[in-house]
Structure 1
Amino acid sequence: MKKTLPLLLLFVCYLTSAQTTVTGTVVDDTSLPIPGANIIVLGTTVGTVSDFDGKFTLTYNQNPPFSIQASSVGFETLTKEITTANEVINFVLVEGTALDEVVISASRTPERIFESPVTIERLGLKDIKSTASADFYDGLENLKGVDVNTNSLTFKSVNTRGFSTFANNRFMQLVDGMDNSTPALNFPIGNLVGMTETDVLSVELLPGASSALYGANAFNGILFMRSKNPFDHGGISASIKKGYTSQEASGTNPYTDLSIRVAHKFSEKFAAKVNFGYLEGTDWAATSVEDRNMEGGTRGTNLNYNGVNVYGDEVSQNLRQVAILLESAINPGTGQPYLPAGASALAPSVDVSRTGYNESELTNYEARSIKADWGLYYRPLENDFEISYVGKVGTGTTIYQGLNRYNIDNFFQEQHKIEIRNRNFFLRSYVVADKAGDSYDMVFTGININRAWKPDLNWFAEYAGTYIQSTLAGANDTQAHSAARTQAETGRFEPGTPEYIAAFNRSINDPDLTTGSKFQDASKYYHMDGNYNFSEIIKFAEIQVGGSYRKYNLNSFGTIYTDYDGPIEYFEYGVYTQIQKNIELNESLELKLTGSLRYDKSEFFDGFFSPRLSGGLTLNRNHNFRASVQTGFRNPTTQDLFIGLDANRAILVGSSPDNLDRYSGDYNVSGSGQNAGQPSVITQTGAAAYNNSYSEASVLTYKTTGNTNDLVVSNPDLIKPEQVTSAEIGYRGKLKRLTIDFSAYYNSYKDFISQEYVVAPLYGQVGDNSLSIDAINRGDDITYNAYTNSKAAVNSYGASIGLSTKIFGNYDLSGSYTFAKLDFDQEKYPDFVTNFNTPEHKFKATFGNTNLFKNFGFNIAYRFSDDYYWQSTFGDGLVPEYHVMDAQINYTIPSFKSTFKLGATNLLGDEYFTAYGTGYIGSMYYISWTINNL
C-alpha cells in the first residue's frame, strides 16, 4: 500500500494536468470563413465557437486520441480525430440543405429535420442574419404554413393551422423552456418582452397539436426560441438599427432598435451573460370610420352609427323607450313628469348612439419595448452537468386588440428560472408574473369621457325631449334629429381642451369601468417540469419520461376576473412518456417509430390521455415518408373560467361553476315593466347566461318578425376541455439540388371551445311564452357572452409544400404554398363563432445570395395571402388579399467584425392589414450595424 498510494496519486495528478489544445479554422468550400461555427469534443459538452475569421482554439483536459466535430447551420457536420497534442485542424464544411439542420423540439431529442416524425420549421443563425424582415421575430412570417397577425408594431401573434385571434391561447411560445404567456391574458404577447436578437441561437416552430409532449396549451403549435449559452458563445456583441416607418395615417416616424449582449466564461465551471434590448417607434394607427351597424353608414347618415375605430358611440338607446321612461320619471324641479302622457308616441322606435372619439384622440401610438435578461451558469464537474439561474424582465407600450382596443402602457413582466440539466435530463422551475402598469381600455375611455361630461341618461333625455319638441313645432324627422343631436351635444368635451384632458386622465386612472378604463392586474403562475432520457441506460430504444405542474394565481383586483375578495388560485399537472426506435431494414431502408402518451389533469376537470403515434421511412438517405396520428387537448383558459367583465356590448362571464354567481349586477327595470308589477331594480347573476337565456341571433330575428316561434332557448352548457384528433402525412426529399418538404393534415375537434352571445331576460323563464317575452319586448334584458363548447362537429384540413434549390450557381431560391380550410356548418349554428381567421391560400418565396461577391449578400422575400373573413369579439370583417415584399442587402467587414444591412419591409408600399379593426401596416426602411454577433 505504501508503494501503491504514491503511484495512484501520481496517476491522478497526471490525469488532472493532462491538457490538449487544438487550434484551427472553419471555412466553407469556397474558402470563406464561417464565424460562429460550433466545435465540440464528441460525447461531451466541451466546446468553443469560431470567431469572425473562422478561427478557433479548443482546450480539453484529456490526452489524445479523441474526436472533435464542427457544425454550423446550413452546412453538413464534419468530424475529425485528434491524435496529438497542440494539433492544428482545418475544417472545410460543405453547404447542406435545410433538411440537414438539427432540431430538438419535435421529439425532445436532437434529430435532423429530415428524420423528424412531424412537421417542423426552423430559423437558424444563418436565416436570422439574412432575413429581409426587420428582426428575427418578424422573419417567422416567411416560414411555411405560419401566420403572423400584426396587432401593432411591437405585438404580433404567431399561429399555424387556423383558429386564431390576438388572444391566441391555442399556441404556445417557449423561451429556453419557459412559457412566455402573460399570466393575466393567458397567451403570448409576441416578442414585446421576449428575446434580444443578439442572443438568439435558433427558433423552431412545431405546427399542429403537440399535447403528447408539451401539454394542454400546445394545441395549434409551439414556438421554441433558444438563446446562446455563455460557455459556448462569449464576448460582447451588439446591434443597432435606425430607420423610419411610413404609413398614410400616421406619416413618417423614426424607428430605433438596439440590442447588446455581454457573455463571459470565467472558467470551465462558471459562465454568465447579460442582455439588453430597446425598441422605440410609432405604432400603425387604426383610423377606420367604417360603420359596424350599417354598410356605408356615416355619422351623418346613420342615427345609430358605430365606427370601427371610434369609441363612445357604442352607447345607444331606443328613442321611443327613452321617451316612455321620461313619461314616468318625475322632474324634481317641477314635480311633474319630464314628458306628458302620450308624448312618447311622437318618438320613432329607432336606436340612436352617442357621438364618439376617434382612436387617434385616445392614444399617442407610442410603441416601445425595453427588456433585459441575465444568466448564471455553473458546471461543478466541468462537463455537461449544468446548474443555471436565468432572470428576465421586460416593459413596454403597445396596442392590443381583444374584446376592445387597449393601450398597453408600461406593461411589466418578469420571469425567474432555476434549471438543472445534462444531455440526459433536465429539471426546471420558474415563475412568471406581470403588472398591467398604466394600461387602459380605449373603448371605455371614450365612453367615460362622454359620461364625465354628461351622463348617458341626461344625454338621451335631452335628445328625446328636443326631438319631440321639434316635431311639435313642425320640424320634419331629419330636422328634428338634427336639432336633438345639436342640443344633446352642447358643451361636449373637445379633444385637446383642459376639460377633455382632465376627463381623459381621470378615466385612465380609474379601474371602475362604469366611470373609468384602467386595466389592473398583478397575476402570476408557477411552473415546474422535468424530463429524463434513458438512452444511455436502455439500449434497445430511446425512452423518455417527464412531467409538469402549474399553479395559477389570478389577481386583477376584480377588474377582469371575479377576484373581488382576493386572488383566485388553481392548478394543473401532467405526466408523459415517449418511446422511439430506429430499425434498419437494410442498407437503403430505415424505419423510425415513435410513440408518446401523456396524461393531464386540471383541478376542475377529469384527466385526459393524449397519445401520439408516428412512423418515418427513410429510403436511400434522400427520401423520407412519414405519417402520424395524435390527439391534443386544451383546458379552458383563465378567462374562459373566471372572467367577469361588463364590456358594454355584452357581459363576459366565465363558466367555472363557482364563478357564475360571483358576478352580479343591479339592473333598472323599464317604466312599463314596473307598471306590469316588476320591481324597479333586479339583481341578476352571471348564472342567468347559462340557465335562463335565449340566443342573441333569435332575439334579433324576433324583434324583426314579431314571431315568438323565432325565439330559441340557448342555456349553453358549462365549458369543458376541448379535444382534437389530428392525422398527418408528409414527405421530405432531396432530388439533386432540389429539396422538398410536403405535409397534409386533417383535424377533427370535439367540444370545440368558443363564445356564444345570449340574451337573459330580467324576469320570467325562457320558453314560458309570457313574462320572459314581455321582458324582451320592453328591453328588460341583459346580453352576455358565454363560454361554452360547440354542439356541432368542427373540422379543418390543409396541406403545405416547400421547395428550395440553388440556381445560377450559388443563388438560393425557395418557395412554399399553404392551403387551409374550415369544415363547419355556420348556417346551422349561426351563434357559434369559430374564429378560424386563416386565408385559404398562402404563397411565400425568397431569393438571395449570401456571397454575391466577397462579403456582400442580399435577400428578397415575397408573401401573398388570400382574402379571408376575420371573426373576433372586437368585430367581424373581411381581410382583403395582400402582396408584401421585403428586401435587404448586407456587407460584412471582417476586420471590424461587423455586418451592415440596408433593408425595407413592404417595399411595394401597398398598405394592408391582417385583422379586422387594426391599423394598416405601412413600410419600414432601416440600416443596421451588427458587431461580433457569432
Structure 2
Amino acid sequence: MKHIVLCCFLVFSCLSLVAQERTVQGRVFSQLNGESLPGVNVKIRGTSTGVVTDINGFYEIAVPGPESILIFSYVGYLTEEVVVGERNSIDISLAEDLTELSEIVISGTRRAEKITETPATIQIIGEEEIAKIATFNPGELLARVKGVEFIRAGVAGTGINVRGFNSNFNAKNLQVTDGRFSTLVATGLPFGPLNTVIKEDIERIEVVLGPNAALFGPNAHNGLVNTITKDPRTSAGTTLALNAGNQSMFSARLRHAQIVSGEFAFKVTGEYTSAEEFEYADSVYIDRNADGIKEGYEEYLLDNTIEFMRGETALYYTPVDGTDLIFQAGGSNSTYLSPTNVGRNQIKDWRIFYTQVKLVSDNWFAQLYHTWSKTDSTYSIDDRTKGYYRFKDTNPELTEAQLRAASLTTGALFQDDSRRLNAEVQYNNDIDNNFFYTIGAQWQRDMANSLGTYLLDENAEDYITVNQLGVYGQFDYLFGDGFKVTAAFRGDNHDVYGFNFLPKVGLVKSGDWGGVRLTYGKGIAAPTILNMYGDLFGGLILGNAEGFTLVDGTVIEKQEVEEVQSFELGYKGQLVPKKLFIDANTYYNISENFLSPVTVIGVAAKRGDQPISEVQSAYAIYNGLVATYVNFGKFNTYGFDLGLNYFFTDDWSMGATYSYFGYGIDENNLENDFDKDGKVTPLDLLVNAPKHKGTASLNYMGDKFFGSIFSRWVQEFNYYSSFQIASETIPGLKYRGVDIVEDARSGDAWNYGPLGGFLTFDVSAGYQFNDMFRLSGQVSNLFDTEMREFTAAPPTGRLYSLELQVQLPAID
C-alpha cells in the first residue's frame, strides 16, 4: 500500500511540475529608437538556462513557475529583471546605458566584460564619437586618448605609440580589425591609412595601453588598437556620407546593410577620398662638389596627391540559434606621402586585400584569413633624388625621361607582393558562473616578397617564409563582492627568434562605484621581416637575422626580441555619482634588449657565414659599410595617466586628460652605450616622447545640435629616429658623429628643432535635421598654429571639413 501511495505522490508531483512549467515568449526593443534588438541574452535568474533573441528581437523560453525572474542583458544597454507571474507573453524595451562605468570591452580578456572589470587600461572611442566627427579619417580621434603619443604627418597620416619610444618606423603597436592582424607582412607596420574599413562601418575602437601580448601575441608590446565593425543585423540600412574641405579634400562613402531573412544578413561598404598634401619639400643632401660639401636639393618629382579607395563586403549566416558563420572580404588602394627614417616614401597604388571566414558560437570561435599586400611603384624620394643627380652628373647625354627611369634603379624602388595566412581556434566556458576560462591557438605564416627590391629575396618566386605558432589561455575567478583574479599566458614559437613565454596576472575589485585593478604583464616586440631580411639601397641597410662579423673581428649578434615587464595600478570610477568620472593609472616598465632603429655598425666582413661581398649588391660603392638593427640595454620607464569627465547636464560635459612619462637608465652600465662612444648619454636611449601632455574639451550633445571645443597641449621634446633628428642645440653631444645644432643640417637631414611645444584647438559642430539628414563641420588647428609633430613631414596646418550624412531606413 505504501508503494502505491508513493507512486501516486510522485506521479502527482511530476504532473504538478509539468503543469507549472510553461513557455514565455516576447520581443525586445530599444528605447532609443524603438527598433528590435537581436542577440539579447534572456536568462532565468539563479539558473544556467537562457536563450538569445533572434534577428527580429523575438525570444521563447521555458520557465518553471510564476516566481521565475527573467534577466534581459545586452551590450550597451541597461540590464532589466522581470518577474514572470502569470504572463505568457512579455515584451520589454531596454534603455541605452549612458554611464562610462558600464561600457563593454573585449580587448582585455577576449570576451565581453564591463570596462571596470577588465584587467587592463582600455580607452574606448565610441560609435557616436566616430559618427559625429566631420572627417573621413577616424584616426584623428586617437589624439583624444590619454596615454597615447599621437602624431599627424600631413593631411591623411596619423599614427600613435604608447608610453614613449615613438619613431618614424614604429611596429611596436598591434593593430587588429575584426580579429585580423592589420599589419604589413614585411615591415610589421600597422595598416593605418591602408586599412580597408570605412568610418561609417566602425562600431567602436578599443585602445589598450601597455603590453597585451599574453592574449594577442608579439607586437602588442606597447599597446593594441582594436577596431570592431558593425553587425548588419543590428545596423541595417543605407548610409551615404560626403566630405569636402581645404587641401582639395573630397570624400564619398557608402554603407548598405540588410537583413535578408532570419538566417541571412549582409553589408557592403565603399569609399573614394582624394586631397592634396600640404606644400612642403624636405631637403635631400647630395655631394656634387669637388670639395665634398653636401648641398640641399628639393625632393625630385614630389607628388602631393592623396587618394584612397577602399571597400568591404560581409555575409552573416546563422544556421542554428547561437551559431554564426561570417564571410568577409575587402581591399584598398592608397596613394600618399609617408615619412620614414630616411626621408619620405612616395606610396603609389599600394593595395591591401583580405578574405576571412569566422565561426562564432556561445563557446567556440574559429577563423581563417588571408591577407595580401601589393605595390609596384612605391619609392624612396630621398634615394631617388640622389640617384637622379648622380646620373645627371655622370651621364650628361641622358634625356629627362631617361634620367627619370634611371633614378629608380638605385635601390629607391619598393615593390611588394607579400601575403599572410592566419588561423585561430578558441574555446571559452565557465564553471558555476564564477570560474571563466578561455583557451586558444593561433598559427601564422608570413610569405614576404619584394621582387628583389628591398628584401633579401631575388624574384617573384623567392618568398621569405616565416612561421609562428602560439597557444594562449586566460582564467578568471570571481570570489564575490566584486573581487576577480585573472591569470593569462601565451607561448609562441617562431622560426627565427625561437620560443617565448608571456605571462599576465591581475586582481580587480569592482562595484557600482567603479573598479580598481593591479596587473603584471610581460610583452615582446619581435623583429620584423624587414629587420631580419632587409636589403635597402644596394645593401647599405641589411637585415640582422644571422648576425655580422666586422673586419676587425667584432661580432654583432643577430637581433632578438625586445622584452618589457609592466606593473600597473589603475582606477576607473565616479567621484560624484553620475557627474564626475575619473580614469587614472600609474605604471612601471622594465625593458631589456631594446630594438634599435637602423644604425651603422661599421665595415662588415660577413653576414652570418656569407661574405659581405656576396650579400651587398652595391659593394663596389660601400665596401662593406653596413647599417642594421641591433639589441641593446636595460632601462626603466614609468608614468601615470589621468582622465576626468564632468557632466553638467545630460547635454553638456567637459573632459580633461594629463599624462606624465619618465625613464631611468644606468649610466654605469656600458650595455646601454648604444652609439659605442664609451659612455652612456641620453642619446643612447631614444625616448622620443614628451614628459608632459594633456587635453581639454567642452562638449554639447543635444537632440538636434551637437558640438565640441577640443584643445591639445604637447610639451617640447627632442626626437631622434635613425637619420632623422629634431632637437634643440646640445653643446658637447653628437648624434651620428655630428654636432647637435638646432636649425642646421645634421648629416643627411635638416634639424628644424624640437617637436611639440604647442597648444592647439579644434572646433566642431553639427545639426541632426531628422532621422535621415545630418550636417556637421570641423576645423582642426583653428588658429593655424605652427606645430611640428613628426620629422620628414610637413608642419600640421589648419584643416577644415564639412560632412553631409544621409541615413536611409532598412529595407523590409
Distance 1:554 1:547 in 2: 23
Shift of 1:885: 1.4
What does 1:808-847 align with in structure 2 at a 5 Å threshold?
A: 810-824=651-665, 829=673, 831=675, 834-847=685-698
Deviations 1:423-455 (A, max 9, x none): 322111111111113211111221122123222
What is the CA-CA distance between 1:893 and the residue it aligns to? Answer: 1.9
Q: CA RMSD, aligned part only?
A: 3.0
Alignment partner of 1:518 is 2:413 = yes
**Partner of residue 790, structure 2:** 915
**1:580 Cα offset (Å):** 0.3
Deviation (angstroms), 1:889: 1.0
Corresponding residue for residue 359 of structure 2: 420
Corresponding residue to 1:264 among 233, 258, 283: 258
Structure 1 distance, partners of 2:272, 2:452, is 33
Which residue of structure 2 lines up, in the alignment, with residue 103 of structure 1?
105
CA contact (8 A) 1:117 1:614 kept: yes
Secondary structure of the structure 2 residue equivalent to 1:159:
strand
- The answer to whether the 8 A contact 2:29-2:36 is kept is no
Q: Which whole-Å deviations, capped at 9, do the CAs of 1:295-354 have from their partners, x for residues lacking one?
A: xxxxxxxxxxxxxx123x34468x5xxxxxxxxxxxxxxxxxxxxxxxxxxxxxx5323x
The match for 2:699 is 848
Is 2:769 the partner of 1:869?
no
For 1:845, the aligned partner's letter is A
Counterpart residue number, 2:610: none
In 2, Cα distance between equivalents of 1:492 and 1:744 = 65
The answer as to whether partners of 1:193 and 1:369 remain within 8 angstroms in 2 is no
Tell me which of 575, 578, 583 is aligned to 2:479: 583
- Residue-by-residue CA offset, 1:785-806 (whole Å, 9 max, x unaligned): 122110x212211110111111
Q: Secondary structure at the match of 2:40?
A: strand
Contact in 1 for aligned 2:168/2:341 (Cα 8 Å): no
User: For each residue in 1:390-413, what CA deviation from the matched residue of structure 2 results, as whole angstroms up to 9, or x when unmatched?
Assistant: 111000101122233110011101
Q: Equivalences for 1:440-455 in 2 at 5 Å?
A: 440-455=379-394
Q: Name the aligned partner's letter for residue 847 of structure 1.
A: L
Per the TM alignment, residue 282 of structure 1 is displaced from its structure 2 partner at its CA by: 1.0
State the partner residue of 2:531.
640
Residues 728-747 of structure 1 show CA distances to partners (whole Å, capped at 9, x for unaligned) of: 11112212221111101111
Structure having the larger proportion of residues in strand: 2
Percent sequence identity over matched residues? 21
Checking the alignment, whether the CA contact within 8 Å between 1:449 and 1:500 is kept in structure 2 is no
Q: CA deviation at 1:763?
A: 8.7
Q: What is the CA distance between 1:194 and its match in structure 2?
A: 3.3
Change in Cα spacing, 1:67 to 1:315, as seen in structure 2 (3 Å) is farther
Aligned to 2:467: 571
Rounded Cα–Cα distance in structure 1 between residues aligned with 2:769 and 2:691: 44
Aligned letter for 1:527? N
Query: Residues 314 and 329 of structure 2 are in contact (CA less than 8 Å); yes or no, is this contact kept in structure 1?
Result: yes
The aligned counterpart of 1:556 is 450
Aligned to 1:52: none
Q: After superposition, what is the alpha-carbon deviation per residue over 1:32-79, rounded to whole angstroms, capped at 9, x for unaligned?
A: x5889877252545356xxxxxxxx63446689995847675x64445
Q: Structure 2 CA distance, aligned partners of 1:80 and 1:731?
A: 33
* Alignment match, 1:793: 634
Assess if the C-alpha contact under 8 Å between 2:136 and 2:251 holds in 1.
Answer: no
In structure 2, relative to structure 1, the CA distance for the partners of 1:862 and 1:133 (3 Å cut) is farther
Instruction: Please tell me the residue identity of whatever aligns with 1:503.
Output: L
Q: Distance in 2 between matches of 1:92 and 1:380?
A: 30
> Unaligned stretches of 5+ in structure 2?
1-22, 43-49, 607-620, 677-683, 727-753
- Displacement of 1:123 in angstroms is 0.9
Q: What aligned pairs does 1:293-332 form with structure 2 within 5 A after superposition?
A: 309-311=282-284, 313-315=285-287, 319=290
Alignment counterpart, residue 254 of structure 1, candidates 244, 248, 254 = 248
One of 560, 568, 571 as aligned partner of 1:731? 571
Alignment gaps of 5+ in structure 1: 1-17, 28-32, 49-56, 245-252, 288-308, 320-349, 459-490, 494-498, 661-686, 694-712, 765-778
Q: Distance in 1 between matches of 2:206 and 2:450?
A: 33
Match runs of 1:210-221 below 5 Å: 210-221=212-223
1:590–1:72 Cα change, 3 Å: closer
Q: Aligned to 2:116, what secondary structure does the other structure show?
A: helix
Distance in 2 (CA, whole Å) between partners of 1:125 and 1:780 is 53
Structure 1: distance between partners of 2:355 and 2:260: 23
Task: Tell me the secondary structure at the aligned position of residue 782 of structure 2.
Answer: coil
2:520 aligned partner = 629
Question: Hey, what does 1:46 align to over in structure 2?
Answer: 53
Once residues 26 and 634 of structure 1 are traced to their aligned partners in structure 2, the CA distance between those partners, rounded to angstroms, is 46
Rg larger for? 1
In structure 1, the partner of 2:508 is 616
Amino acid in structure 2 at the alignment position of 1:857 = F
Change (3 A) 1:180 1:25: closer
Tell me the residue number matched to 1:482: none
The equivalent residue for 1:532 is: 427
Q: Does the 8 A contact of 2:527 with 2:561 survive in 1? A: yes
Task: Look up the SS of the partner of 2:326 in the other structure.
Answer: strand
The answer to whether the 8 Å contact 1:38/1:72 transfers is no
Q: Is the 8 A contact 1:576 1:598 kept in 2?
A: yes
* SS of aligned partner of 1:140: helix
CA deviation string 1:682-733 (max 9, x = no partner) = xxxxx4xx4336xxxxxxxxxxxxxxxxxxx864322112111111111122
Residue 547 in 1 paired to residue 441 in 2?
A: yes
Deviation at 1:166, TM superposition (A): 3.6
2:594 corresponds, among 748, 752, 756, to 752
Letter in 1 for 2:571: Y
**Distance between the aligned counterparts of 2:69 and 2:233, measured in 1?**
21
TM-score of the aligned structures, taking structure 2 as reference length: 0.83
CA contact (8 A) 2:135 2:801 kept: no
Q: d(CA) in 2 for partners of 1:809 and 1:522?
A: 52
More helix by share: 1
Offset at residue 184 of structure 1 (A): 3.0
Q: Which amino acid is 1:352 matched to?
A: I
Q: CA deviation at 1:760?
A: 3.7
Residue 858 in structure 1 maps to residue 724 in structure 2? no
Tell me the residue number matched to 1:883.
759
1:663 paired residue number:
none
Partner of 2:378: 439
Name the aligned partner's letter for residue 770 of structure 2: P
What's the CA shift string for 1:94-120, capped at 9, x where partnerless? x63222211011011111111221111
Partner of 1:26: 31
> What is the CA distance between 1:372 and its match in structure 2?
0.7
Instruction: State the match for 1:372 in structure 2.
Output: 311
Q: Give 3-state SS (helix, strand or coil) of 1:120's partner.
A: strand
Which range is displaced more, 831-840 or 364-373?
831-840
CA distance in 1, matches of 2:62, 2:806: 36
Cα 1:749–1:92 shift into 2, 3 Å: closer
Change (3 A) 1:88 1:610: closer
Aligned partner of 1:474 in structure 2 is none
SS across alignment from 1:607 = strand
Distance 1:652 1:761, change over 3 A: closer
Instruction: State the distance in 2 between where 1:357 and 1:394 align.
Output: 33
For 1:154, the equivalent position in structure 2 comes to 156
More deviation, 232-241/167-176: 232-241
Mapped to 1, the partners of 2:136 and 2:711 lie a distance apart of: 14
- Deviation, 1:567, is 1.3
Distance 1:590 1:59 in 2: 32
| Corresponding residue of 2:494 | 602
Letter in 1 for 2:447: N
Taking structure 1 as reference, are residues 784 and 761 closer, same or farther at Cα in structure 2, changes over 3 Å only?
closer
Q: Aligned match of 2:626 in 784, 793, 800?
A: 784
Q: Distance in 2 between matches of 1:81 and 1:280?
A: 57
Report the CA distance shift for 1:310/1:229 in structure 2 as closer, same or farther (over 3 A).
Answer: same
- Number of aligned residue pairs: give it: 720
